[in-house]
Amino acid sequence: MWTATVLTLFPEMFPGPLGASLSGKALEQGKWLLETVDIRAFARDKHRTVDDTPFGGGAGMVMRPDVVDRAIGDAAQAQPGARLIYLTPRGRLLDQEKVRELADAPGVVLLCGRYEGIDQRVLEAREVEEISLGDFILSGGEAAAMTLLDAVVRLLPGVTGNTESLEEESFETGLLEYPHYTRPQTWEDHKGESREVPEVLLSGHHKNIRAWRQEQAEQITRKRRPDLWERYAETKDD
């Protein structure tokens, strides 16, 4: 079974949103397993100290390598073969390709930092993979871990019923997703203006509908994400 182990100072934050909707239902059905490990349990002093002041000075505190290493070692022994990941703004940007890669792995061990971060020595010694959600700062790695897990779990077998829907989502084809419409066919917005569903979607002509959706996806990607469009265009030319 695909298993996620989260190393955190705040195990009570889990499962949080992961206990609801698709991921929560899949968790109840045993389609994936979530374990939390309290890093503080691996401290050896009576105060359960997990951090200390940084060498060289500076603001904040740094999580101790000895404590973190014991937590990682415990998780690695319980879950051999799992990908060890540290959620940090300096990591590689998480994308759908990486999400698919992690879904194909036996599972993950997610290391959630706090304070100013984690002593570099344990990250190097354990060859920890660093992943970022984007160019912004969170209070800790827990919210990032939940986001990563939500993205991965929905790709696991049996979690999402409609596999065709997964294939058409943003990033799966290198493009952002095309617009969606449903009933009512004519809708009056808050300004009193009538808004119609594009005629092609009512035609029943599947070839034309596919062409329209492809065109819309390309236009949206070109306008909103020129970086994605450039990569897509290069692939298309090849």
Instruction: Compute CA 162 distance to the chain's CA centroid, rounded to the nearest angstrom.
Output: 20
Task: Kindly report the backbone phi and psi dihedral angles of residue 26, in degrees, each rounded to the nearest multiple of 5, phi listed first.
Answer: -65, -35
Q: What is the CATH number of domain 3-153?
A: 3.40.1280.10
pLDDT at site 173: 82
pLDDT digits (tens, 9 = 90+) for 88-119: 999 999 999 999 999 999 999 999 999 999 99
Rounded to whole angstroms, how far apart are CA atoms 158 and 176? 25
Structure-token match 């105060």, residue found: 47
| CA-to-CA separations, 227 to 191, 219, 230, 233, 234, in angstroms, rounded | 35, 13, 5, 10, 11
pLDDT digits (tens, 9 = 90+) for 180-206: 999 999 999 999 999 999 999 999 999
Closest CA to 170 of 132, 91, 224, 108: 224
Residue ranges of domains in the chain: 3-153, 168-237
Q: What is the CATH number of domain 168-237?
A: 1.10.1270.20
User: Using CA of residue 126, residue 85, residue 56, residue 42, what is the dihedral sign?
Assistant: negative
**pTM (predicted TM-score):** 0.87
Q: Is residue 164 within 8 Å of 123, Cβ to Cβ?
A: no
pLDDT at site 236: 76
Q: Which residues pair with 36 in a beta bridge?
A: 6
Whether 170 has a pLDDT exceeding 60, the answer reads no
pLDDT at site 165: 56
Mean pLDDT of the chain: 94
Per-position b or e across 143-158, b if 16+ CB within 10 A of its CB:
bbbbbbbebbbbbbee
